Chain A
């Protein structure tokens, strides 16, 4: 999973996250690799959570879920969703080795978020594969 991203690439990714997620009212959005590194992250300024730990756990969690998928005969489950009282987390695989995590509250509709995730994934994929 060797990869390098230029400043321009990182800026383009941040712009996508800003336009597709932050303006939708998402509390925090993070792009990580499967080693648990944070590639880009944006939040609404009110997040106090430690996103480095979140990234490590998300990468581990996704790996565990992929193993579960194989047990039931699937190649993988490409998205995950955890629902909470106030905060929800949506995980989606962009391409192999990259995962997009969105944390959002009640005010954001899951359906609309999923639509935005699908759009953003396509755009980010182009950058990561370039």
Chain B
């Protein structure tokens, strides 16, 4: 959960990028880090394996300025997507305020997206949180791969398979080239802030 420091007039909130392995969660954060480097004063933290896969999490603190007189600090995290790291994913979800689900648009990853979304629902439930109530944005990543002839799932199919019940805002994106990465982030930040409004009195 977010922490409101009434003395320092500061709000810290946690947004987690979730999704299947090799889906582009870290690439999202890397793009944000590059794009906003003048506003992000610290280094992005990435705990990776030698094979460049996320082992624990990536972390990017992002100051978004003042809202109602409070300094708002958004803490962006990613989880390791690989199935075997579920304990780590659950650990990173602790105290989460908003989630971006980064789905892989490649046809061959259809099943992996569905499993990862179910896993998110299950892990949120361990913290008494519902996937239907938490601020959530879906991102259909890797749309640029169609230019290389790689078969992608049409957005309508992705919407049907992942978002038919959730009805969360969704974006077609390419984290690698940056398409809609910032839009996704802005949307989750505004939804998270809206859900925390009552805390900022």
A binds B: yes
Task: List, in ascending order, chain A residues with CB within 8 A of B45's CB.
Answer: 53, 56-57
Measured CA separation A6–B7 after assembly (Å): 8
Name which of B23-31, B89-97, B117-125 contacts chain A.
Answer: B89-97
In the complex the two chains form, what is the Cα distance from A59 to B2 in whole Å? 15
Q: Is A2 an interface residue (CB 8 A)?
A: yes
B153 to chain A, nearest CB (A): 33
Complexed CA–CA distance, A38 and B6 (Å): 13
A37 within 8 A of B: yes
1/0 contact trace for A15-40 toward B, CB 8 Å? 00000000000000000011111110
Q: Are B42 and A50 in contact (CB under 8 A)?
A: yes
Measured CB to CB, the nearest residue on chain A to B199 is A4
Q: Which residues of B contact A50 (CB under 8 A)?
A: 41-43, 61
**CB under 8 Å from chain A, chain B span 112-131:** none
Task: Output the residue of B1, B4, B57 with the most chain A CB within 10 A.
Answer: B1
A1, A6, A7, A14: the one within 8 Å of B95 (CB): A1
B94 touches A35 (CB 8 A): yes
Q: Does B77 contact A (CB under 8 A)?
A: yes
Per-position binary interface string of chain A over residues 61-92, scored 1 when its CB falls under 8 Å from any chain B CB and 0 otherwise? 00110010000000000000000000000000
**Which chain B residues numbered 1 to 32 have a C-beta less than 8 Å away from chain A?**
1-8, 12, 14
Say yes or no for B140: interface residue by CB 8 A criterion: no
Interface size class for chain B? 20 to 34
Is the Cβ of A36 less than 8 Å from the Cβ of B43?
no
Verify A57–B95 contact, CB threshold 8 A: no
A1 CB to closest chain B CB, in angstroms? 6
Knowing A1-B1, A53-B61 are in contact, say whether A33-B95 is a contact too (CB < 8 A): yes
> Is B12's CB under 8 angstroms from A56's CB?
no
B166 close to chain A: CB less than 8 A: no
A7 touches B6 (CB 8 A): yes
Q: Is B101 an interface residue (CB 8 A)?
A: no
Q: How far is the CA of A34 from the CA of B94 in the complex (A)?
A: 7
Q: Give the residue among A35, A57, A60 with the most B Cβ atoms within 10 A.
A: A35
B3 near A37 with CB under 8 A, answer yes
**A37 CA to B3 CA, complexed, in Å:** 6
Does B77 contact A56, Cβ atoms closer than 8 Å? yes
| Interchain CB contact under 8 A, B77 and A53 | no
Q: B87 at the A/B interface (Cβ < 8 Å)? A: yes
- A35-B95, A36-B75 known; A64+B56 contact, CB < 8 A: yes
Q: How far is A62 from B116 in the complex, measured between Cα atoms in Å?
A: 25
| Of B12, B57, B87, the contact of A37 (CB 8 Å cutoff) | B12
Cα(A5)–Cα(B5), bound, Å: 8
Q: List 16 A-B contacts (CB under 8 A).
A: A1-B95, A10-B6, A33-B95, A35-B14, A35-B96, A37-B14, A38-B12, A50-B61, A52-B42, A52-B61, A53-B45, A56-B75, A56-B77, A59-B94, A60-B91, A67-B87
